[in-house]
Amino acid sequence: METLTFTGTPVKVPSNKPYEQMIRALESVLGEGNVRSFTEMVGVTGTWDEFVRETEQHIGMSGFVIFAKIDHGA
């Protein structure tokens, strides 16, 4: 199995906008998926290239996708 390494850079963006407005703006540039669809894609794709093609359909203009949301405050 190949291991891919991702190096991230934290980014802070100060804003006077309300929290919910900032979240909506962030989510508007993220792709949408869900854990179920992700799991199904893993099961139906036979090769890495097929998986990548299927996954890329869900990627937003930011290059990222949300597979699950968890509200820890609920």
Domain-embedded: residue 58: yes
Domain-embedded: residue 24: no
The contacts of residue 31 (CB under 8 Å, 6+ apart) are 58, 59, 60, 62, 64, 65, 66
Q: What does the alpha-carbon distance between residue 15 and residue 26 come to, in Å, rounded to a whole number?
A: 13
Report whether pLDDT(74) > 70.
Answer: no
Domain-embedded: residue 40: yes
The residue range of the domain holding 47 is 31-66
Domain count, the chain: 1
Domain-embedded: residue 50: yes
Domain-embedded: residue 38: yes
Domain-embedded: residue 8: no
Domain-embedded: residue 12: no
- Max CA pair span of the chain: 47
Closest among 68, 73, 69, 70 to 34, alpha carbons compared: 68
Query: Rounded to two decimals, what is the model's pTM?
Result: 0.54
When the pLDDT of each residue in the chain is averaged and rounded to a whole number, the result is: 84
Domain-embedded: residue 2: no
pLDDT above 70 covers a percentage of the chain that reads: 96
How do residues 4-39 score in pLDDT, each as one tens digit?
898 989 989 899 999 999 989 988 888 877 667 777
Report whether pLDDT(67) > 90.
Answer: no
- By the 8 A CB rule, do 62 and 27 touch? no
